[in-house]
Amino acid sequence: MSPDNQNVEIVEKIVEPMLIAAVKITGPYNECGKGFKAIGRNFGRYICGSCFCLQYDAGYRPTDATFETCMPIRHSKEVEGISVRELPGGKCVSIIHKGPYEELGQSYQKIKDYVKSKGYSCSLPTREIYIKGPGMFFRGNPKKYITEIQFMINKIDSSETQNNSPSKAI
């Protein structure tokens, strides 16, 4: 594990709902740039936060992952191939990963261990928020990338049943 991630604190917090523009992709993770480019080209002046991915797979899938590239936006408009919707908020477990994307698995394991130790039930998709990453023109130093990983905690309500949940459990 990278020295920067050995003493990283896991926090529980509330995230607010947000309006997003998203492009769904099935393929290798490095195809996310295509989605971000399409959103940036169509929503540039309406983007109001860090780009992120919603990960729909419970495990690492290097060649056929299912994910959405997303950006928070201030204004909705219809664009072919881009989904605009409100992403729900709620309680989540969060960890800040410092370093290259190739080492994200270590932080995922740490957050999964935490969730298990607390007895939480979390749902897919997980969220990867790219606080600091490669720039549009220059790759930057991967050792300085900062990524927040969020696992959404399922709301426990006695009136709900597992069959009504639209999300998969992790």
Sequential DSSP letters for the chain? --GGGTTPPEEEEEE--EEEEEEEEEE-GGGHHHHHHHHHHHHGGGB-S--EEEE--SS--TTTEEEEEEEEBSS---BTTBEEEEEP-EEEEEEEEES-GGGHHHHHHHHHHHHHHHT--EEEEEEEEEEE---SS----GGG-EEEEEEEEPP--TT--GGG--SPB-
Question: Phi and psi at residue 50, in whole multiples of 5°?
Answer: -70, 145
Selection from 168, 156, 161 nearest residue 120 by Cα: 156
Give the global pTM: 0.85
Average pLDDT over residues 98-109: 94
Query: pLDDT digits over 116-157, tens only?
Result: 999 999 999 999 999 998 866 567 789 999 999 999 999 544
Query: pLDDT digits over 47-92, tens only?
Result: 999 999 999 999 889 899 999 999 999 999 999 999 999 999 999 9
